[in-house]
Structure 1
Amino acid sequence: MDLADTPCLVTGGASGLGAATVRALVERGAKVAALDIDAERLATIAQETGCFAVTCDICEERNVLAALDSVEKLQGVPRLLVQCAGVATGARIVSREGETDLASFRRTIEINLIGTYTVMSHVAARMSALAPLDEGEQGVIVNTASVAAEDGQVGQCAYAASKGAIASLALPAARELGRFGIRVATIAPGLFATPMMETLPEDVQERLATLPPFPKRLGRAGEFAALALHIAENRMINGAMIRLDAGVRLEPR
């Protein structure tokens, strides 16, 4: 897919991996819309890049539909969807007090999995009505999982379950949407320098940076964005989950 002048949509576009993807797409000459629940950060990235910014809670279907209507009216139906919206939560199945936190589990699944599916399904429906491009391609969907989908640590059951489900979506979604010329792929980032990571103590961040075999550092958001754009441009990538992790395998704790 040629990204120049192409309508593209990024969820979670106000910070971290999403913001880096917005910047990369704008630099490539795409028409970019960014969705995020954080209105303040969204306004900042819009001012910085000139992207179309829409405040949206992806857990609310009506919000999603209204946001897509706004994007379509201004820029057209997105040909590329990159989904970076999500939360990282930590909670044990049984706490030290012997209790379970079902509310936290539900919230994580609702945002990371159901929110991702809601946006994907509605964007795919609109993509399916677009005129085909070269080789019949109509659109590309890139979802974000995590290496926790395969290497979930203690206290990550909710997060790992949500990201594992997103990873599992790629192949059946690609098989289903292939008849519309829509490709689906998933990126599973490892340890990246994002606002989520920056909430950890500095000594913890330094220790985590030593875990990858090579390069021994945290990933950069721009490296995620580069892969998302490559997936969009390379038609042979479809139905796959790609680990972007410098070879790291997370420890149990």
Structure 2
Amino acid sequence: MTAPYVKEDINNGISTIEFFHPAHNSLPGDLLAQLAETISGAGANDEVKVIVLKSGGDRTFCAGASFKELININDAETGRIFFSGFANVINAMRKCPKFIIGRIQGKTVGGGVGVASATDFCMATKFASIKLSELNVGIGPFVVGPAVERKLGLSGMSQIAIDANSFYDAEWARQKGLYAQVFESTEKLDESVQNFAEQLCTYNPDAMKEMKAVFWKGTEDWDELLAERAAISGRLVLSEFTKETLKRFK
């Protein structure tokens, strides 16, 4: 079985950042920390003009938070730190001065929807349905909520957050604005992501940097906001309801 990893490959101005975990690309704390650091590094690297964010394997894009770690949270501070992992990745993406293209090859759940939402331009296959499953285990999509709401609007975000048991298909996500384009196959997706990234590399980096700042205007308080949200999730994960639910899932 392949060990979990985060890796970066820089080629002709394109930084391809890939993460992988054998448990459906779920993201434990150490991988989230590596991912945030790699994104920040690519943002600061003058060699890099554009970033492509993807996950390994050909099925699930990201199954969200690591279930194994979730079950083992026994105090509020550990909970806060755990949920801060996704906050740090989203904030690294938000502050990164380069455009980040999301390449979503398959289903994405919970925190994974947050990561997809924090990209600047997201492309997917028709298999890339989305689900915010947090309410199912007695918490809510508090940390990823602002990023998801920014893309889907409050109406779309609240719909999938409340309907926590349902997958919404890629076409729904495209109509709501999460995906810019949806493709029939991973091959078509990869070809389009590559062509698009190459095209962006021909543009003025300063213009793209200024555009990115404009697009993310109004999110300057997210360092504090997402930290507060992580504390809410960290508290809820300790509730009797969530503990019992997690035992059943186990």
- TM-score grouping bracket, smaller chain normalisation: 0.3 to 0.5
Output the TM-score relative to the length of structure 1.
0.32
Output the TM-score relative to the length of structure 2.
0.33
